[in-house]
Amino acid sequence: MSRIVVASKKPVRIALTVALVIHIALISLQGHHRIDTGFIRVWALDSLAPLEKLADRSLFGVRQAWDRYIVLIGVHEENLQLKRENDDLRMQLIQQQEAIAEAERIRALAGFQPLGIGKPLMARVIARDPAHNQTITIDKGRVHGLKPDTAVITPAGVVGRVIQSSNFFSIVQLIIDSQSAVGVMLQSTRRQGIVRGNGGPELDLDYIDDDNDLKPGDMFLTSGGDRIYPKGTPVGVITSVGARRGLLKAVQVRPTADLGRLEEVLCVVERHEKVDVVDPTQGQPVP
Amino acid sequence: MNRITTLGLFGKFATALIGVVVIQGILSFKFKVFGYFDLPLICCIYYGFTLSNPMASIVIGSALGLMQDSLSGAILGANGLTKTLIGFFAASAGHKFAVDQTITRVFAIFLFSLGDDILVTILALMVGPGSNPTYSGAMGTWLLSATFNTLFGLVLFGYHDRWRDATT
């Protein structure tokens, strides 16, 4: 490749200054929330994400062909075992559905509003963050009902929330991101708290009412207090309880969802959670 | 001698830059180890060294960084700023130092990679919430990332050298 030598340094200095000023202005605008820069991301997502989806589908096609036609040894035995497991699970599902219907009837009788868990919409993960942050790109966007703060989960647990949506794609901030926090409650004692991402593979417990009875193996579920994630979804399991650091013990939580191997996720759309506010003068819930 | 039009050259560069960002996103998702690589950064240094044109390097760095930021949850402009600086410094280094030497390349890519991670983190902390905690193993991750980037950069430069020797 031939080298091009620039004779004068002045245009370079001007170009550098202009570029730096543009970037600093962008950063500054986001810091003070003066102007919404979301349109740039939407435009970039709509332009670049289709390429990511195309590449993802190509790789997926190759892998599917391999899985369907080449790796078939021992499939018959596995199939029989899965059918047995499927029958068991169907039975469990019927029992669970009965229990849910009963609970809904009791809730209705007691005058409570429905839980408003929302409708799950399956989305495919097409890319991971190209800038070392803890985000993923999924192939569902605004036309599918996704918007910022839409909860993204898997059957194993909470994945994160949508932070930016274009028409057909969305960026999801994982719960392990350092700017992410989830309202949680301990499954055993129902104590409420907050877990926060730190950029690493585990979460930090940021707050809890009482940390004396915490022990490794305890499960955290979403409390629903953040009004993003449906209540009762698994978040993580305590892996270590360290010495007291300030007001709280240093508690590490491993997410129950395998965030390193996400392929399909569920987005909770059409969620209309109604929160009753009690008027202290009347003592009645105000819608 | 082949005549390459300005438009054609611009098109090739734009395709290469978009390709780098898209490939980085796909590979990081499919293979966990690619999360440690920063292909746009390596591309930025590569063009800085081989073109030795600060103006082009600034434009390439800015474009790559902005695309990275747009496709991620990062603050818009953070990677743009760092990659603009790295593109400029890489092009300046291409003028002043013997960037054909392996040892120079190792030092340069390693330091650029480390500097990029640190600067992006500082910018994120400045704009993000005040009580934003940082992952205690972040330094280890940065060092690992810098090592991977250096190794990949050396391979890329090795191919560049072979191609240059074959064509001259």
Q: How confident is the model at residue A278 (pLDDT cuts 50, 70, 90)?
A: very low
**Separation between Cα atoms, residue B6 and residue A200, nearest integer Å:** 45
Determine the structural domain holding residue B130 and report its residue range.
6-167
Mean pLDDT of A34-45: 73
Domain extents in chain A: 76-114, 119-271
pLDDT, position A38 = 72
In a domain, B115, yes or no: yes
User: Is B113 an 8 Å CB contact of chain A?
Assistant: no
Residue pLDDT, tens place only, A103-150: 877 777 666 555 556 788 889 888 887 666 688 989 899 999 998 899
Cα(A223)–Cα(A233) distance, rounded to whole angstroms?
8
Strand A234-245 and strand A192-197: the pairing is unpaired
Contacting B residues, span 27-86, partner chain A, CB-CB under 8 Å: 28-30, 32, 35, 38-40, 50-56, 58-59, 61-62, 65-81, 84-85
| Residues A283, A154 contacting (CB under 8 angstroms) | no
A4: chain B residues, CB-CB within 8 Å: 51-53, 56
Per the CB < 8 Å rule, is A127 touching B133?
Answer: no
Q: Strand A203-208 vs strand A219-222: parallel, antiparallel, or unpaired?
A: unpaired
What percent of chain B shows pLDDT beyond 70?
A: 88
Alpha carbon of A171: minimum distance to chain B alpha carbons (Å): 7
Query: Does residue B1 lie within any of the structural domains?
Result: no
Whether A199 sits inside 8 A of B80 (CB atoms) is no
pLDDT value of residue B137: 67
Pairing of strands A203-208, A157-165: unpaired
Residue B92 has pLDDT above 80, yes or no: yes
Give me the CATH code for the A119-271 domain, please: 2.40.10.340
Indicate if the pLDDT at residue B74 is higher than 70: yes
First to last CA, chain A: 69
> How many CB atoms are located within 10 Å of the residue A202 CB?
19
CA B130 to chain centre: 29
**What digits encode the pLDDT tens for the residues B98-110?**
888 888 889 999 9
CB contact under 8 A, A200 and B135: yes
Q: What residues of B are in contact with residue A6 (Cβ under 8 Å)?
A: 53-55
Q: Looking at per-residue confidence, does A67 or A91 come out higher?
A: A91
The predicted pLDDT at position B4 comes to 56
pLDDT, average across residues A211-225 = 86
- Which of B71, B88, B162 is the best mutation test for A, with the most CBs of A within 10 A? B71
Tally the domains of chain B: 1
Q: Which chain A residues contact residue B126 at CB under 8 A? A: 27, 31
Q: Report d(CA A236, CA A198) in Å as an integer.
A: 14
Q: Is B96 on the interface with A (CB under 8 A)?
A: no
Among the partner-chain residues B22, B61, B72, the one whose CB lies closest to the CB of A52 is B22
Residues of A in contact with B28 (CB under 8 A): 127-130
Q: Choosing among A18, A128, A172, A240, which should be mutated to test the B contact, i.e. which has the most B CBs within 10 A?
A: A128
pLDDT higher than threshold 50 for residue A91: yes
Q: What is the CATH number of the domain that holds B157?
A: 1.10.1760
Report the residue of chain B nearest A260, measured CA to CA.
B32
CA distance, residue A129 to nearest chain B CA (Å): 5
- Segment B131-142 shows an average pLDDT of 65
